[in-house]
Every structure is written in structure tokens, then in C-alpha cells.
Amino acid sequence: MSTIQELEPKGIWKNFYSLTQIPRPSKKEEKIIAFTKEFCENLGLETIVDEVGNVIARKPATPGMEDRKGIILQAHLDMVPQQNEGTGHDFEKDPIETYVEDGWVKAKGTTLGADNGIGAAAAMAVLEATDLEHGPIEALFTIDEETGMTGANELKPGILKGDILLNMDSEDEGELYIGCAGGVDSTGEFPYKLEAVPADSKAYRLTVKGLKGGHSGLDIHLGRGNANKIINTLMLMAAGKFKLRVAEFDGGSLRNAIPREAFAVVVVPADIATKFEQFVTEFETIVKDEFSKADGGVAVSTAATDMPENVVDLKTQDQLFEAVAKCPNGVIAMSKDMEGVVETSTNLATVKMLDGQFVIGTLQRSSVDADKEKLAAQIREVFKKAGGKAYSSGDYPGWKPNVDSAILQAMKDVYNNKYGRVPEVKVIHAGLECGILGGAYPNWDMISFGPTIRHPHSPDEKVNVDTVKLFWEFLVETLKHTPKK
């Protein structure tokens, strides 16, 4: 049994352990919805499951706190399903295996799900606690945050009664977030034809792995390698030098994760195969040097493999290489108002072969909606000029900061009184649900906060144990000092 249940505060950790035992990848949340509904109902709380699967529970104020503004504790139930090659984890069936190391809770070869399982566990702990002081509380457990924010988008106005939203989906203890970036997905499609493999060819499997990956918003400024870009550069260069032809290309896995791994099956003329192998070795040296500080574990390799039945037609191959090469990736602009904050970015997330076409998936983020739309249009134009089709979808708004927020001032005072310092107030370059939820409930005063989580959306994800305790104590004290109506 995992030792995380022995950690303090036990209320959060026992609930988080329960969440790790229930498969909950985005779009596959049936089991976790049923579990959460049963959990709330067993506490005797009024419980609602709305049309899309959001779970809402209500807990009355404790005696003497009835005059306080209503608090909504909000977290999302789904998690990002990422694993290291060879782990063999089935995210629809298998529990997450956790362990504690050097003060951090981690998972064995997979994402941990602390994003946003810790927030959900904290809400559950508040709902079941009998020794807390608080005004009226509602818990809102949303679904599908990671792949479309479906739960937030489909939440109906009028269901929730509270005045203050505490979003528990941020990842730096001691920081309060009052704004976030909006986002939009831009996709390129390149239909291909299959041709016979050129005579006298030798087949290879190309692999790029060992990259750190990470959250495509929170980690985009760290200069980490993009596996899709790296393997595309390799193939583009080899196409000119060695007449390389592509049979398969599979890069990245999720729209909101920096791609850590990419694979391709290619063929080259057999008489120059040895030179091609040497070229790949030399290319790896260049890549390792380029990312020695930001992503030192990168590995580029080639291995002989079975001959594919076909290769992609040369015209589409050239179009694909051009599209991936010219597609922007990484930080586009930094904020002029908040030092060190990314304002606009894009992630070249996935390259897949689906239904007879290459599909390139990208995600643009910006705290300025006009810049987000401009960047998406630029990327669509790159795909179109390369000869493909292009469209954008899943647009969601950012969350505009309110520096005069009443709950912001209350939480700053609570934190200062408890820990002797004022928490930092920030905006985050990630897509929190607050922007969408605030559209349905414009009266809400909103704050996002949480414990320290590192490398979300990657198998290196970990949550700091000490900060979970600080986060819990801060939450409990905030509930006790909620402003009056």
C-alpha cells in the first residue's frame, strides 16, 4: 500500500489516494464522477450531477457563520494521461502507483494526477470535516478540463449560489493567481497517398526521446526541446542528403503537453544506409549540445526495422516537413506589464497519421485575446501555404485580473497573519477554468491557489508534501475569515 496515506494532513492525502485508485483520464471520467457523487451523498450533502457530469455538493455554514459570503471550492476531476515508454500503464483500468521521495509525492512512470487531484482531495476533505469553521460551502468538481474545459463551458448559470470561487488548480504555494491566459487549438491536415517503397531500400525506426516535456503553458518559457520539431528537422535534412522517405510519423500525445517523444519509420537507399546512420549520430550530438542545459537527457537514435509496405507520396512528405519546420513554437511575447510573465505562446503538440492524412495539432495561449487570435491565424496560414487545410477550434477566454478583489485582500491578510509574509499576486500562463466560469457567473470574486506541483502533464509530475500542509492550513484559515455578506 502507498505510504501517502500516512502523510499530513491525512484528510487530503487519504482522499488523494482514493483518487489515484480510480482511472480518470480526460473524456473517460464515468468512474470518477460516480465515485465523487457517492462520496458526497454518503456525507448526507445535497448533491447534483449536471448534464455533462459536473458534480456539485452543498454543505451548510457552521453555527455562527451563516452571515458569511458563500464559497465555491472548485477543482477538476480529470487528469493528463502521460507515461514513459515501456511503462505499460492502462489509464482506463490501472491505478496510479505513488511513492514518496525526498519530500515529494511522485508516480512510477506516469503522470501523478496531482493536477488537479490535490485540489479535488482538498474540497473532499472540507466537505467531510467536522471541526472547521466556515460559511455556506459549495464544491464544484468539473470534468474534462485538460482536453476542452467541457465541464466549465457547459456549466449552467443559476445552479450555484455562492459569491466567491476558490479555484484550487494552481501550482506554486504562497502565490495567489488573479488572471490567466486564454487558448485556442489550431490544426493542420495534409491528406497523403501511399506509394510503393523504392527498390533497394533499407528501413529504419527513428526515435527522439528523453526530453522533459511538461505543461505547454507553465513550462513553455524553459526552452525545452520539442520532439516533433527535432525529428522533423532530422528527416527534412536527411530527405535532401539521403533521399529519405517517410512511412510513419507519430509525435507527441496531448495538445497541452510539450511533446517529449516522437517516432518515425523511414527508408533510405541501401547503398548509403551506413552514411545515414552516421548522420543520425552526428545529428544527436548537435541536439544534445543545443539542449545541454534545458533538456540534457534528449536522445536521438535510429535502428534497422522491418520494411514497411508503403511510403507517403513525396509531395505530401515535403508539405509536412515544411509545415512542421515553419510552424512557430515556444514563447512569442512576454508581458510588458508583469516582469517575467509569458504573454503569448504556442505549442506544436502532436503530429499523427489519421484516416489517410497527417494531422498537426497546436495550442496557442495568450492573456491578450487579440494576440491569441492573430497567432492562430498566422499558424493556419503556415499550414495553408504548405498545401494543407487548416482550422481553429476550442477557443476559450482568459481571466481578467481584478486587483480590487475583496477575497484577494482577505486572503493576503490571512496569509500574512499566519506566515509572516504577503503572498505573491500573479497571473498564470495557463488555461484555468476561471475565465470560462466567470462568464456564466460574472458576480463571482475569484482566486486560484494551490500547493507546489512540478512538471505537470509529464511522468515527472510531483507534488511537494510540506506545501500541501501549508495549502491546507491556508484554505482552512481562509474559510474561517470569509468576508461577510
As a whole number, mean pLDDT of residues 41-45 equals 98
Residue 347 has pLDDT above 70, yes or no: yes
Q: Has 339 been annotated as catalytic?
A: no
Region(s) of the chain under CATH 3.30.70.360: 184-396
Which of helix, strand or coil describes residue 34?
helix
Residue 226 has pLDDT above 60, yes or no: yes
Q: 364-385: per-residue pLDDT in tens?
A: 999 888 999 999 999 999 999 9
Residue 406 has pLDDT above 80, yes or no: yes
Percent of the residues in the chain that have a pLDDT greater than 90, as a whole number: 90
Q: How confident is the model at residue 345 (pLDDT cuts 50, 70, 90)?
A: very high
Region(s) of the chain under CATH 3.40.630.10: 3-181+398-480
What pLDDT does 1 receive?
44
Residue 444 has pLDDT above 80, yes or no: yes
As a whole number, mean pLDDT of residues 357-362 equals 98
As a whole number, mean pLDDT of residues 336-345 equals 86
Q: How confident is the model at residue 357 (pLDDT cuts 50, 70, 90)?
A: very high
Q: Which of 449, 473, 457, 415 is nearest to 171 (CA)?
A: 449
List, as one string, the DSSP characters of 370-433.
Answer: HHHHHHHHHHHHHHHHTT-EEEEEEEE--B---TT-HHHHHHHHHHHHHHSSPPEEEEESS--T
Q: Has 78 been annotated as catalytic?
A: yes
Report CA-CA distances (Å) from 37 to 54, 125, 165, 453: 10, 14, 20, 27
Q: 284-317: per-residue pLDDT in tens?
A: 999 999 999 999 999 999 999 999 999 999 999 9
Mean pLDDT rounded to a whole number for the chain: 96
CA distance 292 to 232: 20
Cell numbers for 485: 455578506
Angle in degrees, 0-180, between the axes of helices 406-419 and 465-480, rounded to the nearest 10: 120
CA distance 325 to 322: 5
Pick the catalytic residue: 29, 138, 144, 145? 145
What pLDDT does 2 receive?
58
> Locate cell 481578467: which residue?
400
What pLDDT does 88 receive?
94
Percent of the residues in the chain that have a pLDDT greater than 70, as a whole number: 100
Pick the catalytic residue: 78, 173, 322, 343? 78
Q: According to CATH, what is the number of the domain 184-396?
A: 3.30.70.360
Q: 75-114: per-residue pLDDT in tens?
A: 999 999 999 888 999 999 999 999 999 999 999 999 999 9
CA distance 103 to 99: 10
Q: 235-293: per-residue pLDDT in tens?
A: 999 999 999 999 999 999 888 899 999 999 999 999 999 999 999 999 999 999 999 99
Cell numbers for 82: 502521460
Q: How confident is the model at residue 397 (pLDDT cuts 50, 70, 90)?
A: confident
Q: According to CATH, what is the number of the domain 3-181+398-480?
A: 3.40.630.10
